[in-house]
Amino acid sequence: MTDLSQTPREAEPTDARGRVAELHAVRERVRCGPSERATEAQHAKGKLTARERIELLLDPGSFSEVEPLRRHRATGFGLEDKRPFTDGVVTGWGTVEGRTVFVYAHDFRIFGGALGEAHAAKIHKIMDMAIAAGAPLVSLNDGAGARIQEGVVALAGYGGIFQRNTRASGVIPQISVMLGPCAGGAAYSPALTDFVFMVRRTSQMFITGPDVVKAVTGEEISQDGLGGADVHAATSGVAHFVYDDEESCLAEVRYLLSLLPSNNREMPPRVECADPVGRRGEALLDLVPADGNRPYDMRAVIEEIVDEGEFLEVHERWAGNVICALARLDGQVVGIVANQPQHLAGVLDIEASEKAARFVQMCDAFNIPLVTLLDVPGFLPGVDQEHGGIIRHGAKLLYAYCNATVPRISVVLRKAYGGAYIVMDSQSIGADLTYAWPTNEIAVMGAEGAANVIFRRQIAASEDPEATRAELVKEYKAELMHPYYAAERGLVDDVIDPADTRATLIQGLAMLRTKHADLPSRKHGNPPQ
């Protein structure tokens, strides 16, 4: 197929009908793209075209394109002879479940999706429109980085994108969908957004590619091994969601958008709920063992509590000792932060603290109430953790909770020991409502460790140290770790039947729906980094 932008106009239309016919011909060429061969090459890689992706993301027939006829004006290195329409990026807006969403999609068939001056200007414009309209922005990334032939102006284009990403942060939801290679400075825009989606085998992200890594360090590694979807989902934590194909990936982007408000001035969309508010969760009594040393799957607890057992887990494969998820209670969106006893006994470590802190900040920015489910034995001890800055990273989670003004409810299921108990949204750092199950153990540390410290001399002087230790542990538990100790001192609002957890949370959230809290007047805080 010949690109109209590269051929002279043979006959100048002389009337309006002729001009309109020419317009439709141009639009059809723009819609089809540079050539059938380029489209076939894209499909051969297992990738969709930019417009096919937009069609999957948005409601049918809702897309309105912005600047489809834009062309670059660069010269040199043969660019003046190749000036395709769109300049390699499709921009515009449409709807997802009837709500406005802005989108830009790199077209890999044109300059490999590389960013040039005109390409960047289109992205800048659509980002400005999204911020002004107060609507989410989704980027469908499949580009080869800066357009080398255009030199430094291409790099300046990235700077404009980064600046707008930062200005939009906490104002509108920003979602990056990685559908191809993303190298160098191009990787920073996704890192500045709220959520990153990746597709296995076809998308990669890295600052320096395998060739540079080999030249500098001598290490040999593939593109997927360096920055593939599974690496960023499980090791680096860069990717929040990973899927096997583009269709399922974009379907999940639509689902995520259904759980988010359009902007920070709105509440998340509420849906009608057929799951009874007062449904008792009798299964919870069997899901969570009373023995604090026995593991269980916290996901099963969440399924039993939320509407229809449905939730969307964020960062599912990274820092598995804490669960972060979006779900609904009585149709209202909530953010859930929960320790996972099935992984590292649910302790908090560096990665878990960072994961939960970012999630709490996102929920607070977009008016999503927080529900925290505690079963935490403390922070992970060890030289690596201390030298890695567990103090600094753990403080990120503490700061995020203390700074959050959305409704906050916490429930202690079993263990809640030491500083980890305080950090996981305890009453003392501002939780609006705090509840505990009758299996709770809220204490400075476990009874065995506490008895060894408090009664060290008494145990050492005993004729039967083990028997004495067991007796003193039992005494310590009876005095300071019984289920009602915290309630008697006002540190939890009530001890509840686990089967009533769903109803209790829904009632509390309904009361807190009109909560208003002001932060001190300041330019911004200085959170730990």
Q: Where are the beta strands (DSSP E) in 286-430?
A: 311-314, 322-329, 332-339, 370-376, 408-417
> Active site includes 419?
yes
325 is catalytic: no
420 given a catalytic annotation: yes
User: What gap in Å lies between CA 281 and CA 116, rounded to an integer?
Assistant: 56
Dihedral angle, C-alpha 43, 44, 46, 47, nearest 10 °: -40
Cα three-residue angle 394-196-125, rounded to 5 degrees: 120
Say which of 118, 357, 420, 443 is annotated catalytic.
420
For residue 491, the 8-state DSSP code is S
Which two tokens mark 416?
Answer: 């809640």
Given 113, 116, 143, 185, which residue is catalytic? 185
- Going from the C-alpha of 43 to that of each of 49, 88, 161, 224, the distances in angstroms are 8, 17, 28, 19
Residue with tokens 């003046």: 80
Four-CA torsion 87, 89, 93, 95, nearest 10 degrees:
150
Cβ within 8 Å of residue 27, ≥6 positions away: 68
Strand residue runs (E) in 45-178: 64-66, 89-96, 99-106, 137-141, 174-178
Cβ neighbours, 10 Å, residue 111: 24
Q: Which of 178, 100, 91 is nearest to 136 (CA)?
A: 100
Q: State the catalytic residue, choosing from 419, 470, 499, 510.
A: 419
> What's the distance, CA 433 to chain centroid?
25
Helix (H, G, I), strand (E, B) or coil at 437: coil
Q: How far apart are the first and last CA of the chain?
A: 53
Nearest to 328 by CA among 258, 431, 278, 231: 258
Query: Other CB atoms closer than 10 Å to residue 444's CB: what's the count?
Result: 14
Burial 195-205 (b: 16+ CB within 10 A, else e): bbbbbeebbbb
Eight-state DSSP code of residue 233: I
d(CA 194, CA 263): 13
Q: How far is CA 139 from CA 32, 74, 85, in A?
A: 21, 25, 19
Q: Which of 184, 209, 389, 449 is catalytic?
A: 184
**Residues annotated as part of the active site:** 184-185, 419-420
